[in-house]
Structure 1
């Protein structure tokens, strides 16, 4: 009797929290299933996909860096979300062996914003730091929800190309990374009825990385500050935002949210989240 399984692949892979997340849900539901991690180098990626395609027990995989774009030519079809973002973070295997690429990062990122997005606003603006793979999902999700975006990165030309690719009709703006580091004397207008986001979609502030330099004079009153970094979970950016009285969202929220979408695709059941992920978050932040 064989056991159905899914896994996460990447290079490196040791740091991935996905096995802990999916393993927790599998145990809670009492499923006869496994979730593994598999170290796959760029040179091994095509062979890995070919080998798993013919494995009837393999339900699919989550994909982390550096394979989110490189995997796309080896798949049979991309869902609309993956096409829009231009990156795949989840592959599922259909009964006929067809491999489908999707991107659950968008749904995971948007999940904690659902209540705010359900309301009507006069104006929605997001200031986003970062131009990598995670930023692509953030840009796509917010553009689809009517945000005007200011995208900041070390290379403004790369930021502009990203915006032009994902939302060419949008009236968005780019800025150099150091733009938000320097104080501004800009006076924000009445923000009543507006939705403002500050999103760190870069590795800045992650353990071992330089800190994110953000002067809070750039942050409109009432903003939601969202940092997708997961190590540490409570970043200096989030601490400063709370001290300023602002609502914050941490990276574990997005990580768990995107994993929940993938889990249901792999195993055909929604994961147990009745406690608001409190127990799982404790496991992930010992």
Structure 2
């Protein structure tokens, strides 16, 4: 039976098996999608073992492997020098493993109708998820981007690599006015420290986008809704990137018009 997986450390919180399982059942496909706990030390062995399994269609990659996996698979789309992080590995019939990134498109899909050209943006975090976010923002031609991160040097390098104008501030710095605020860090995730931000500098028409989906209702989103700001939760990006990966793994697009059912399942 064809199967795909999501790998990471930790991995118990991942909702990807529910998403892909829902689509597989809806389409009547003979396949499965599972979680696989893979530590950093075991990543190479995992990839080597799966490479030889003809039933394995690939995997989604989550923290902390989005950078390290690039050294273990082929990169035909030059993800390394564009986004700099992989979240999807696909096995071809000849055993070749191809890495790609579906996070950028998944992130931007809920913002496609928003006019962000020239708009100031604030991003929290500078890891693999932030790379996909900044890649998408650069192509949306946004204005100044301020990154809030513990490591200023790492974040400044990201601005330069994506050709974005802006600056880097510490996590304890006051939030600047921005049309879009994105939490691309793990702060606020179950088991992680909270993301404590004063949202008062944001204009009334700002959008607050939290990539965290466990819990779905984060403190950041609650604070944004208390101000009647537009919000985007982590399921939007998760479902968007999963749809692209699903087609790569199983050769069919997810069923149309069933997102409400899927969200109800994921939030039950």
Q: Same fold (TM over 0.5)?
A: yes
Counterpart for residue 172 of structure 1: 166
* Structure 1 range deviating more: 101-110 or 9-18: 9-18
> Among 60, 63, 81, which residue is 1:62 paired with?
60
Q: 1:212 aligns with which of 181, 195, 204?
A: 195
The 8 Å contact of residues 111 and 257 in structure 1, kept in 2 or not, is answered as yes
Q: TM-score, normalised by structure 1?
A: 0.87
What is the rounded CA distance, in whole Å, between the counterparts of 1:209 and 1:46 in structure 2?
27
Residue 90 in 1 paired to residue 84 in 2? no
Does 2:235 align with 1:237? no
Q: Over aligned residue pairs, what C-alpha RMSD do you find?
A: 1.9
Instruction: Check 1:78–1:247 CA distance in 2 against 1; reply closer, same or farther (3 A cut).
Output: same
Q: Secondary structure at the match of 2:181?
A: strand
Show CA shifts across 1:241-285 (max 9, x none): 12212110001111111111100110111112403x211112111
CA contact (8 A) 1:82 1:101 kept: no
Conserved in 2, the CA contact under 8 Å of 1:53 and 1:97? yes
Residues 1-16 of structure 1: pairs in structure 2 closer than 5 A:
3-16=1-14
Q: How does 1:165-204 map to 2 (within 5 A)?
A: 166-167=161-162, 169-180=163-174, 196-204=179-187
CA distance in 2, matches of 1:228, 1:27: 26
CA positional deviation for 1:120: 7.6
1:82, distance to aligned residue in structure 2 (A):
5.1
Partner Cα separation in structure 2 for residue 224 and residue 212 of structure 1: 17
Alpha-carbon distance between aligned partners in 2 of 1:102 and 1:4, rounded to the nearest angstrom: 20
Q: Higher mean Cα deviation, 66-75 or 79-88?
A: 79-88
Picking from 18, 42, 45, the partner of 2:43 is 45
Compare CA radii of gyration and give the structure with the larger one: 1
Which blocks of at least 5 consecutive residues in structure 2 are unaligned?
none
Structure 1 runs, 4 residues or longer, greater than 6 Å off: none
CA contact (8 A) 1:163 1:172 kept: yes
Once the two structures are superposed, the pairs formed by residues 202-281 of structure 1 within 5 Å of their partners are: 202-275=185-258, 277-281=259-263
| 1:147-166 alignment, distance < 5 Å | 147=142, 148-164=144-160, 166=161
Change over 3 Å in CA distance of 1:216–1:223 after alignment to 2:
same
SS at match of 1:179: coil
- Shift in Å at residue 155 of structure 1? 2.2
- Give, in angstroms, the shift of residue 37 of structure 1: 2.0
CA distance in 1, matches of 2:53, 2:190: 37
Q: Give the TM-score, by structure 2 length.
A: 0.92
Residue 113 of structure 2 is aligned to residue 130 of structure 1:
no
Q: What CA distance in whole angstroms lies between the structure 2 residues aligned with 1:263 and 1:238?
A: 28
Contact persistence 2:116–2:140 (CA under 8 A): no
- Match of 1:135, SS state, is helix
Distance 2:241 2:195 in 1: 24
2 CA distance for matches of 1:103 and 1:94? 16
5+ long unaligned stretches in structure 1 = 189-194
Q: Report the CA distance between 1:78 and its aligned residue.
A: 4.3
Following superposition of structure 1 onto structure 2, how do residues 71-110 of structure 1 map, counting pairs within 5 Å? 71-81=69-79, 83-110=81-108
Structure 2: distance between partners of 1:120 and 1:47: 43
